[in-house]
Each structure stands twice: as structure tokens, then as C-alpha cells.
A and B are shown apart, each in its own frame.
Chain A
Amino acid sequence: MVIALGLEGSANKIGVGVMKDGVVLANPRRTYITPPGEGFLPRETAKHHRENIIPLIKLALKEADIKPEEIDVICYTKGPGMGAPLVGVAVVSRTLAQLWNKPIIGVNHCIGHIEMGRLITKSNNPTVLYVSGGNTQVIAYSERRYRIFGETIDIAVGNCLDRFARVLKLSNDPSPGYNIEQAAKKGKRFYQLPYVVKGMDVSFSGLLSHIEKQAPKLIDSGEYTAEDLCYSLQETVFAMLVETTERAMAHCESSEALIVGGVGCNERLQAMMKTMCEERGATMFATDERFCIDNGAMIAQAGYEMFRANVTTRWEDTFITQRYRTDEVEVVWRD
């Protein structure tokens, strides 16, 4: 029996999770929400996390009904992510490890998403679409690495959606992407946007510039509504993602697709992915907002897998890094 404590704070969510042999004992989370039209900046986000992390740890231990002595390993997000928020969480993790005399593991955030997705959906060897505010990657497992098949060459898909939400002054509560999704449901007219797939890679920055520039004119003239544009944006960017995922699946002869990351809880993306999977006799897996949005349990789960494979992080390596590619980690816990 292994109990892992996971601490996550690489972006605007701070989360603490407790995992016991694949069972989520607790997974509380708080989100730093900015006013409409504004994004979150490192300094303020780090401050939010510092103020919330101790109460959250206490809450997680209480919900899980465990004492610090029962914890086997402390896991924290080593990267990728925003520097300042990552540092705060790493400092607390290091302190706890010393205070309670526990081993510590620095977890790759992307791997956390993948392992949590695999656990919750029980998918075996899926082609993974990892979509969030900071990352967009199509990943397939091969020979002890999660290999990046395709990815964004500029901004992440979630960032593209979030920034368009700012143009429309949509609320950031609970998340800008959620509010785009709700608006898109009311959209009727499709506005043609640039469709940028370069090989296996995708690009969103040109598309975003285009819609940012056109949106005010199109809305003011009454030609399109804000809802129409949300709908058009979603259809276009999701089609790009489904296309590249499908090609990775065809190449890998994969019969499973798994969507992880914050954008992964978008039901329209899930529906489009499902249609593609059904056409090719494959199965689509996705999780709901509890697990696809950043959370502590996913870090605990990846750390748990590493711990069971006898991996811990040496003390001098318990730093953070803003850049940490998914394929840098040797996946020693899988065949």
C-alpha cells in the first residue's frame, strides 16, 4: 500500500491530492480567477497559491482522513509551468518532505495528466491529445517514452480560446474556456477562419490574430454574433486537433484516443473526437473537469507510479523548471 501526496500549482490552479493505490482519497483545488478581459500573471498567481496552499493541504489530509505519518511520498510539479507559482509549491513540498522525513518526487506536469487520464478511464495504450492553456500535444507511448507526435508551434489551444474570451470580455469564472463553450452552443453561422495544420503540428497564433482583428467589425455590423464566432473558433481549432490525432492513430495503429488537459473537458471537442474514433472503430476516452483540469491527484498518481518503480528525486534535483518536455522523462513504470 502506497499513499502519495501530490501538490500542483503550475498555472492558475492550486491543488492538493491524496492517492492511495489508484484511489482518490482527496483532491481539493482552488482557482485564481481574474476579472473579465484579463489573464493571470505570475506574481499575482504565486501570491494566490501561497495564501491557499497550507489550508488546502490541511483540507486534503482531513478529507482523506490520514495523518502525515501515513504518507509514503510527497510529489510536486517540477514543470513545465510558470516559474513563480511553481517555486512556491516546490518550497512547500521540500519543507514537508524534511518536516515529515519523506521521500520526494518531482513530477512532469504533462505526465501527470496522462497517468491520471489512463487511471480514470482505464484506457490501456491510448494516443493522447493533451490540450490545455499552456500545452497542445499529440502523444503516443513507445519504448519507455511518451513521444510527441505533433504539437503546437506557437500558442496552446487553450491560450487561443482564453485570449478570444478576453476580446469578448467573457467571464473567467469558472474558466474562460467554459464560457466560450456555452456561448458556442448558441452559435449558428459559421465564419471561415484560417485552418493551420503543418504536417503533424498545428498553429493557432495567426488564427487568433485574425479573429481578434475581425471580431469587433463582424459583431458591430451585425453580420455575426459573438456566439457565432465562439462556435466558429471552436469548430476550426478542434477540427485541427482531431485531424492530427487521427493521423497519429493511423500511424500507430492505435485503437484508443484519450483527451487530457483543461480543454479536454470541452464536450464539443469530446464529441468530435468520438465521431472520428467511431468512424475508425476506435474508442474515445476523456475525463470530466475534476481530473482533466489541473489538480493535485494527477501529480500524486504519476508520483505513485514512479515511486513504485523505485524512482525518487535526489534532494539536489528538487528544483523547478519552466521548460520540461513530455519526452524527457523515462517512463520506467510501463512496459
Chain B
Amino acid sequence: MPSRPSRAMTEGSEKATMRALKKMGIKTCAFHLNNDWELVRQGAEARVYKGSYEGRPSIAKQRLRSEVKRNLKCRTAGILAPEILMVDVDQCTIIMEEIGNGRTLKQKIKELEKDSNPADELKQICSNLGHLIGKMHEAGTTHGDLTTSNILLNPNGEMVLIDFGLGGGEASAEDKAVDIYVLERALAATHPNMEPLIPDIIDSYCKNNSKAAEVIKKLEDVRMRGRKRSMVG
């Protein structure tokens, strides 16, 4: 990228992350992605490859940022995220398990929208979304790019969070409110039919996060901020 003054790898202490990896028995060593690894997606700010690691179908991601740390934090809190198999700090490569066929929540919703009466299933998705985000925020971490492309569905149909690259450290109520706001906007932009169901997500979020009140109050501010632009010119 052009000189992007990024939050890149400076955030948090690398050492603490390395200790956490060691504790969880995750290997950290040099790893070269050979030609067997196929580039499957250029996500925002990362290249994603598909291949096999120690005989397991795996995903390799380059450009690490704070991804590993946040992934570990979520999994510790009981939220589904891909299991990390190996980390190469120097090459900025993470190897992690492949989830299902990488079907995204976005694809699922798009399919549902073609159905004649998807209301019940969409409502269930909203409830699950609220649960997921509520739990994640309860654990004190944010995602930073909560869109329906960054939530995968495993073969059991459970939601798995991916792409933690932009999450923040010790998340404030403001950070959490922005996290939810990003999702609201992404839903409105890609799944217009989901927009009326946003209150369902918030309800479920409140049930699953003991500190939800403060976040929701902040969310009201964030939404207002978004609407105040004068749109002149």
C-alpha cells in the first residue's frame, strides 16, 4: 500500500501475543507458502490462500495486524472463530482451519431473500447475530469490520467470526457502538430487506451483554453523528 499511516502491527504488545500463542500450544515458526497454496480471495488488507497444513484443509492469511490477538480473545470467550494452527510472525502469515466451504452469511441471506417467506429464518439470524456480538463485546473486544462477509457459516450452520484485522484493544463503549453501527450500515447497504430487523439484533445483543445499556446509549449518539452531515456541495 502507499504510505498508509496504519494502526498496523504497532497495536498491543507482540510479546504478550506470542506468550498467549505458546500457552495455547500454537506453533510459531517460519513458513513458506509454496505453489500448492491457491490465492482465493483478496480481502480488505489481506491475501487469503487455501491449502493444506499438516494434512488439514487450511486457510493462510498474510498481513497479520491484530488478528491473532483478537481471534484468541474471542475463542477464549466461547465465540466461534477459526482455530489458529500456526503463526509466522516475520512473514506475517497465519495458518488457520478452513471453515465449511467458506460460505458467508452474506451469501446465505442473499439466498434467503429469494425465498417467498424468509421472515422466520431472517429473524433467527438476527437473534444469532445479536448473541454473537453481545458475547464478543462482553469479552471486551471489538471486531472493527462487522459485515456479513466477515461471518462464515460452519457445516452446522453456526456463525463463525473471521477477519479481526481491524479490532481495537481495550474496547470502549464508543468502539463497541461503532462496531454495531458498521454492521447496521453494512446490512442497510447490502441487504435492504434486513434493515427493518435491526431492532431484533439489538434486543438479542442486550440480552447477551451485561454492559449493553451504555453501548446502546453511545450507539444513539453514533447514529446521530451519521445523520448530521449537512450534505452541502
Contact = CB atoms under 8 A, between A and B. Distances in A.
Contacts of A323: 230-231
B1 to A, nearest CB: 7
A271 B45 CA distance: 17
A257 to B, nearest CB: 13
Contacts of B210: none
Interface string B123-165: 0000000000000000000001101111000000000000000
A156 B233 contact: yes
A252 B182 contact: no
A180 B80 CA distance: 48
B23 interface: no
A70 interface: no
A148 B186 CA distance: 9
A195 B5 contact: yes
A58 B152 CA distance: 59
Interface residues of A, number: 58
Interface in B1-40: 1-7
B128 to A, nearest CB: 19
A333 to B, nearest CB: 18
27 contacts: A79-B231, A81-B233, A132-B233, A133-B233, A134-B232, A135-B231, A135-B232, A140-B190, A147-B189, A148-B185, A148-B189, A149-B185, A158-B233, A199-B181, A199-B182, A199-B185, A243-B44, A246-B44, A247-B145, A247-B147, A250-B43, A250-B44, A253-B149, A271-B2, A272-B2, A322-B231, A322-B232
Q: Which 4 pairs from chain A and chain B are nearest by CB?
A: A134-B233, A199-B182, A280-B42, A250-B44
Nearest to A86: B232
Interface of A: 10-11, 79-82, 109, 132-135, 140, 142-143, 145, 147-154, 156, 158-159, 190, 192-193, 195, 198-201, 235-236, 238-239, 242-243, 246-247, 249-253, 271-272, 275-276, 279-281, 322-325
B63 to A, nearest CB: 11
A252 B147 CA distance: 10
Interface of B: 1-7, 42-45, 106, 144-145, 147-150, 178-179, 181-182, 185-186, 188-190, 192, 222, 225-226, 228-233
A243 B189 contact: no
B5 A242 contact: no
Contacts of A275: 1-2
Contact of B182 (A200, A235, A236): A200
Contact of A200 (B2, B149, B186, B233): B186
Contacts, number: 128
B1 A279 contact: yes
A214 to B, nearest CB: 16
Task: Say whether chain A's binding surface is mostly helix, strand, loop, or mixed.
Answer: mixed
A276 B2 CA distance: 8
Contact of B179 (A140, A199, A239, A272): A199
A323 B5 CA distance: 33
A245 B230 CA distance: 21
A250 to B, nearest CB: 4
Contacts of B231: 79-80, 134-135, 322-325
Listed residue (A143, A201, A275) with the most chain B CB atoms within 10 angstroms of its CB: A201
Contacts of A195: 5-7
A134 B231 CA distance: 6
Given A81-B232, A135-B233, A156-B233, A250 B3 contact: no
Nearest to B188: A147
Contact of A247 (B3, B5, B44, B229): B44
Given A250-B44, A251-B149, A150 B185 contact: yes
A243 B3 contact: no
A276 B3 CA distance: 11
Contacts of B4: 239, 242-243
Nearest to A134: B233
Contacts of B106: 251
Given A145-B192, A251-B190, A235 B232 contact: no
Nearest to B163: A250
A270 to B, nearest CB: 11
B107 to A, nearest CB: 10
B178 A199 contact: yes
A81 B182 CA distance: 27
Contacts of B181: 199, 201
Given A147-B188, A199-B181, A281-B42, A11 B2 contact: no
Contacts of A252: 190
A242 B2 contact: yes
Contacts of A152: 229
A13 B35 CA distance: 55
Contacts of A253: 149
Q: By CB atoms of chain B within 10 A, which of A10, A243, A247, A324 has the most?
A: A247
B170 to A, nearest CB: 17
A181 to B, nearest CB: 15
